[in-house]
Amino acid sequence: MTTEDSLRHKLHKKLKLSTGKSKNSKEENKKAQRTVDDDKFRKKENGGKRNLKSSGKDKKFRRGQEGSDEEGYTKGRFKPVNFDRKRKRIYTDKNMGGDMMIYDNEEVDNKKALSKKGMSRVKSNFVKEKNGDKSRTMWVSSKKKDATSETKRFSSKIKDVVETAQVSTRQRGKEKEAEKVDGGRNVSSKQLTTSKSVSNNNLDASWNKYSDVSLLNSSKKTVRNKKGFNDDSDALDDQPKKKKRVIRIDPYDISNKRLDDGVIVEESAKEKKKDLKKDAEMSKNAQFRAIQPSPSILSFVEDNLLGRRRLIELRRAGYNIELSVPLDNVPFSASSERERIEDNIFRNKLTFFAAAKVSSSFPAPDLPEIAFAGRSNVGKSSLLNALTRQWGVVRTSDKPGLTQTINFFQLGTKLCLVDLPGYGFAYAKEEVKDAWEELVKEYVSTRVGLKRVCLLIDTKWGMKPRDHELIDLMERSQTKYQIVLTKTDTVFPVDVARRAMQIEENLKANKSIVQPVMMVSSKSGAGIRSFRTVLSKIARFAKL
Ligand SMILES: Nc1nc2c(ncn2[C@@H]2O[C@H](COP(=O)(O)OP(=O)(O)OP(=O)(O)O)[C@@H](O)[C@H]2O)c(=O)[nH]1
Ligand SMILES: [Mg+2]
């Protein structure tokens, strides 16, 4: 016989006893019947099984009945269903597979309190309940004599919250919401297990309190989350969709351009210019490659081993490659012969005797002069050293702009060699460079005794506008000049011939130019002897 059946049996017994004893028996019967009906109704509502958990109304009902029922009970009348005379707790009965049972306090001394497992089962049952399965519910008595009013208030709040949550979940059928509420319960159950060590009286109160708080929090969170979610969705829906701004830029309209655009335009213009320059240069290179040097120039280049040559080639030709300027020697010559310079005039000692920054500083023109002009770093000073074989008399440097004055060197008593400052790029201030250029122009155009200007051109780069400027000046002043290609060892022999041919062709209409174009290398010594021969003729026949 179950507890429910025993209670029902007791009720029926009491009803029978009450008939005929009391004067107001009819009323009392009706009252008792109503209570039974209510109880039955509650049972029906909860799936025909005993409701272990009471709602707030049930509790009130019991409390309302308590006094009268107590009175009625003492008078031998009926006792309402689930009337707790003594505290009852929920414990698991191992023998019944861990199902929850209600025991009186006296009976539970040896019973084991709810374990973690049991609590998890409780939790799962609670979830089931929320999802519509009312087969298992739990009600834990909170009727403690020492229970505070605060606890009661919280517990009633819990029930309200749980009820509202249940209603909302049922109505909406959203499982997620239920889980969130369940999450709150889960926390409370955990807290319950942790507070096992606390005394029994405090246990219920604290559990109720924490559970209240947790449930309230969880419900608040749920509501908040719901609100937030809805708000977000609403906000998303309400937000007006941003229209993409389409900026149409007229490529030809410069007024609307931003600074960045301007920069891009400038850059693109620069790139275009560069491309054009490249094209022009490419076409220049193509033109240069198309030059067919004359057989005389080609034979001269080959005879003097001009251009970039392999050492093995020089060796085969009989030159001693261990010497610093090997091609300035007679092939297969002995060591004694190497010191010999063919032209007597260049056997003389080279001596520096004057330097001029201005035309007034020029020395008296006592000797025929041969000047060496050209762009900075073209190799003027080096050529002077190579011609005289007196290294170190004229200072040289790989840094453009070393020679900054007109330097006069006397070669014996017959000839004067003049080293001019270079023009074009140099590590010097623009004003200083302009001064050099003016001085050079004044010298080549006005100098008395100047028999020849050797205009040095870098074989690799050819003639530049400044070179043409000087040529025009010398043409106007009828100064004799001769083109000398320097650094021939840096390019292929055929390109040396091409450059010589190109310059000859370009300047063949000039009147003051002296042909042929000379080709030298101060490093390898190629063409130096030939150039020396040309210059010694000047000295020989020069008349002041
Ligand atoms: N490979 C090679 N380098 C040379 C030749 N002649 C000169 N050089 C180098 O070119 C650089 C410039 O030589 P310089 O004689 O000082 O030239 P510059 O024309 O007097 O220069 P500025 O005095 O500045 O006008 C030096 O590093 C030389 O070694 C040459 O025939 N072949
Ligand atoms: Mg120099």
Q: Would strands 415-419 and 406-411 be described as parallel, antiparallel, or unpaired? A: antiparallel
What gap in Å lies between CA 172 and CA 166, rounded to an integer?
10
Could you tell me how many helices (H) and strands (E) the chain has, helices first?
16, 9
Ligand nearest to the CA of 487: 1
Ligand nearest to the CA of 421: 1
CA 432 to ligand 2 centroid distance, Å: 16
Which residue's CA is the nearest one to ligand 1's atom 29?
A: 398
Task: Give 513-539 as a DSSP string.
Answer: EEEEEEE--TTT-TTHHHHHHHHHHHH
Which residue's CA is the nearest one to ligand 1's atom 32?
A: 487
CA 532 to ligand 2 centroid distance, Å: 19
* Ligand 1 atom nearest to CA at 376: 25
pLDDT tens for each residue of the chain, 544 residues long:
556 777 888 877 777 665 544 445 455 556 655 655 555 555 555 544 444 444 444 444 444 444 444 443 444 444 444 544 555 555 544 444 444 444 444 444 444 444 555 555 545 555 555 555 443 333 443 344 444 445 455 555 555 655 655 555 555 555 554 444 444 444 344 443 333 433 344 434 433 443 333 434 444 444 444 444 344 444 444 556 666 666 665 556 555 555 455 555 567 777 888 878 777 776 888 889 999 999 999 999 999 999 999 999 988 888 888 888 888 887 777 766 666 666 778 888 999 999 999 989 999 998 999 999 999 999 999 999 999 988 888 888 888 888 889 999 999 888 999 999 998 877 877 888 888 888 999 999 999 999 999 999 999 999 999 999 999 999 999 999 999 999 999 999 999 999 999 999 999 999 999 999 999 999 999 999 999 999 988 888 877 6
Token digits for 524? 């390898």
What gap in Å lies between CA 525 and CA 487, rounded to an integer?
10
| Burial class of residue 103 in the structure, from the number of CB atoms within 10 Å of its CB (0-12 exposed, 13-18 middle, 19+ buried) | middle
pTM score of the predicted model = 0.54
What gap in Å lies between CA 329 and CA 452, rounded to an integer?
26
* Ligand 1 atom nearest to CA at 400: 24
